[in-house]
Amino acid sequence: MKINIKKTLLTVLLSLQFITAFGQTKKDKIIFLTDFYENFLQKVKTDNKSVDSIYKENIQNPIYDKHFKESEYALIVNDFFASPIKNTSELTKSIHRITTNKETINTKITGALKKSRQNIINDSLTIYIIPVNPNNKAVITAMNGIMGLTAGSKQIILTIEPDIAGWENMLEYAVAHEFNHAYWTNINFGKSAKWTLLDYLVFEGRGDYFAHLLYPNVIAPWTKALTESQKSDLWNKIKPNLQSEDISYHMEVMFGSKHYPVWGGYALGYDIVLTALTGNENIKPGSWTNLDSDKILGKSKYK
């Protein structure tokens, strides 16, 4: 009996060592949510309700209720799924392309999780795959076929459009980027009631810095959206408002508006983190990811 116990303990210990060494965990899940979208397409053909109502009843509400209502960023996720889909023909094609590339998607995600865990220790994650809303095709094209959203410390949503060249490499980059967000969320969510513009800038900058660290040859267009002169201009414009908690203002700065350049906040946030950590490569990702945003800013060139 004692021998059996010892063998069992040895097996467990070896398994744990294997997981640590190779960065994988058997608890990771990759869930394709295309069934919800296929059900929506069927309902549109037979239901007399408006397409918007059918979308909400068959995609937005059931996906949110089943998977995300307990997530740290539940409200953001609900908003993310709020835009109804009108172009069912294009949606059908997008679903087909995801299904056709399912094996590649699984392989790329698994590899990126493994690589990420070699740099940051994080628990198991669930990755959800959805097709692109045809209304957002131009946006996702500009992002090389992938759009990521961290739903919380355990969940990442990836919109994938395999019709766009370069999507495979960007998929790996996106997983690493969102992995960093999930890790930060696991450690830091709820520690402060405030969420400032500076927090947002550094949050995204850390995600991109981590992803570039792992995939240096992948070009993320949003990190290069501004010239040096434009970064300086944007910094001077937003510097007085770094402690703003106005979410609508945050979105303008990060994504662009008539007053701010497209992806300006992402490019600036990445440069803040990049200049803060250049020359400090001895600081491990698990450490600098958890540095307060004001400390990151203090180490950067932005004063």
What is 15-78 written as a DSSP string? HHHHHHHHT--TT-EEEETHHHHHHHHHHHHH--S-HHHHHIIIIIHHHIIIIITTSTTHHHHH
Would you state the pLDDT for residue 25? 54
Would you state the pLDDT for residue 24? 47
Cβ neighbors of 5 (< 8 A, separation 6 or more) are none
Share of the chain above pLDDT 70, in %: 91
For 266-303, write each residue's pLDDT tens digit.
999 999 999 999 988 888 999 999 999 999 999 999 99
Would you state the pLDDT for residue 264? 98
| Gap between the Cα atoms of 220 and 201, Å rounded | 16
| Gap between the Cα atoms of 36 and 112, Å rounded | 26
Phi, psi of 24 (to 5 degrees): -115, 155
For 51-64, write each residue's pLDDT tens digit.
999 999 999 999 99
pLDDT(18) > 70? no
In this prediction, residues 197-223 reach a mean pLDDT of: 98
DSSP H stretches of helix in 118-256: 137-142, 167-188, 197-214, 228-238, 247-255
In this prediction, residues 235-254 reach a mean pLDDT of: 98
